[in-house]
Amino acid sequence: ARLVVLVSGSGTNLQALLDAIAERGAAGYGAEVVAVGADRTGIAGLERAERLGIPTFVCRVGDHATRADWDLALAEATAAYRPDLVVSAGFMKIVGPEFLARFGGRCVNTHPALLPSFPGAHGVRDALAYGAKVTGCTVHFVDDGVDTGPIIAQGVVEVRDEDDESALHERIKEVERSLLVDVVGRLARNGYRIEGRKVRIP
């Protein structure tokens, strides 16, 4: 399967995918990263791709007159690489109708909380502030809401009394990276069906 991965920051989830593909081979893993897209320049996520000669693209909201123009530009830049699956791995923008028209049902996102708890841009901070004793991460299909699409897999992470946001997020990311690698590989190799809120991977 052809993957386009969207990032906004350090790209350690992207790196986990790249490492798995390097280890097992694209055929063995069932997928290859054909391009990496971002909503901003100057981030480690783009450097990780450039280092391997993987094509990159950047679509900045500020470069477009309207949000809808940005959404269309992102959709077209992504479509140019003919992805079978789009992976939003720390991509911090909400995609819109143009993107979903093309990739709805074939775009997965990873979120650092146990959805439906703590959706949005501060899931780790919100779980900590709430006093949750366990949190974790969720890989789900992207729909037109914010972190609301059908859940594919989740991983549980304990919250420790001494945790601050970054310590907890790092612990979550250890689980998140392996969960994302496992899910993307299974979707790519086995195919899948989305039945309402259920995801079936044969």
What is the token pair recorded at 42?
């100057």
Out of 74, 149, 173, 184, the only residue in the binding site for ligand GRF (CB under 6 A) is 173
Is there binding between residue 135 and ligand GRF (CB under 6 A)?
Answer: no
- Which of 1, 35, 75, 89 touches ligand GRF (CB under 6 A)? 89
Q: Which of residues 19-58 bind ligand GRF (CB under 6 A)?
A: 45
Is residue 111 part of the annotated active site? The answer reads yes
93 is in an annotated binding site: yes
Q: Does 136 bind ligand GRF (CB under 6 A)?
A: no
Give CA–CA dist 69/45, Å, rounded. Answer: 24
Is 94 assigned a ligand-binding role in the annotation?
yes
Q: Tell whether residue 111 is a contact of ligand GRF (CB under 6 A).
A: yes
Cα 30 from Cα 23, distance rounded (Å): 12
- Of 112-131, which residues contact ligand GRF (CB under 6 A)? 112
| 11 binds ligand GRF per the rule CB under 6 A | yes
Distance from C-alpha of 21 to C-alpha of 28, rounded to nearest angstrom: 8
**Which residues carry a binding-site annotation?**
11-13, 67, 92-95, 109
Residue numbers belonging to the annotated binding site for (6R)-10-formyltetrahydrofolate: 67, 92-95, 109
Q: Which residues participate in catalysis according to the annotation?
A: 111
Q: Return residues touching ligand GRF (CB under 6 A).
A: 7, 9-13, 45, 89-90, 110-112, 173, 176
